[in-house]
Amino acid sequence: MFGNLTRYLDSVVARDPAPRSRWEVLLYPGVWALFFHKIAHRLFLADLFFAARAVNHFSRFMTAIDIHPGATIGRNFFIDHGFTVIGETAHIGDNVTIYQCVTLGGSNPTNGKGGKRHPTLEDNVIVGSGAQIIGPVTIGRRARIGASAVVTENVPEGATMIGVKARSTLVAAETYAREFMPYGTPCKEPCEPAPNQRVDELEEQVEALRRQVEALVSERALEQAEAVPVEQLVHKNA
């Protein structure tokens, strides 16, 4: 048991540059929320639903993280900071990282399959702060969900999703194949520019084209002015 705890704390230290030791990690609200969830989940599986909910509510009060007792969570799950909500039928794989203010929310139960209302996050997924993943969708292995993205459809393995509604960006394979990407967003990758930036670029291109057209018109007018008709030359010589 102590060995498992040590490995878990080491996995958190590997993903977070802030702690100077394992002892600091023991104070993280995400670590305590996971500890309480393990207790609540066992009570939930034993059909002790009220007791499971009691543990869940105490954990939410202490950590500001709400994990339903029915949620299934794999190894080395790390919630950085807090204020996260994870629904009852959510399934989280191994080595998943979630930043603050994330919701793994449910959709209308009639839209689910076999009672599945909440997302499935496969291994090594990273979810940026403020992201909302809604419904019984599957987030593929090594996928990255950018900050404040809204995801309502399945995400393929290795994709990086941004925006509202989230859309995929072209990220090089050597980037998404890295062991860990902080905040789930490749800040230096060629993601789509902001709308204002794109408008500025288009205005610069239009201005450059306008100058080229004016230069061509001026050059053409000068050529026409310098050209002397043959009839004028003959009349002048006569």
Answer yes or no: are the C-beta atoms of 144 and 126 closer than 8 Å.
yes
Answer yes or no: are the C-beta atoms of 131 and 146 closer than 8 Å.
yes
| pLDDT above 90 coverage of the chain, percent | 55
Total-model pTM: 0.69
Does pLDDT of 187 surpass 80? no
Question: Span 203-232, mean pLDDT?
Answer: 80
Helix orientation angle between 49-63 and 29-45, rounded to the nearest 10 degrees? 170
- Confidence band for 224, pLDDT divided at 50, 70 and 90: confident
d(CA 142, CA 171): 12
DSSP strand E in the chain: where?
A: 66-67, 72-73, 78-79, 85-86, 91-92, 97-98, 103-105, 120-121, 126-127, 132-134, 138-139, 144-145, 150-151, 160-162, 167-169
Q: What's residue 154's pLDDT?
A: 94
Q: What's residue 226's pLDDT?
A: 72
Answer yes or no: are the C-beta atoms of 121 and 92 closer than 8 Å.
yes
Q: What's residue 52's pLDDT?
A: 97
- Confidence band for 171, pLDDT divided at 50, 70 and 90: low
- Confidence band for 54, pLDDT divided at 50, 70 and 90: very high
Integer distance in angstroms from the first to the last C-alpha of the chain? 115
Please list the alpha-helical segments (H only) found in 28-145. Answer: 29-45, 49-63
Q: In what order do the strands lie in the sheet with 138-139?
A: 72-73, 91-92, 120-121, 138-139
Q: What's residue 113's pLDDT?
A: 53
Does pLDDT of 213 surpass 60? yes
Highest mean pLDDT: which range of 49-58, 101-110, 187-196:
49-58
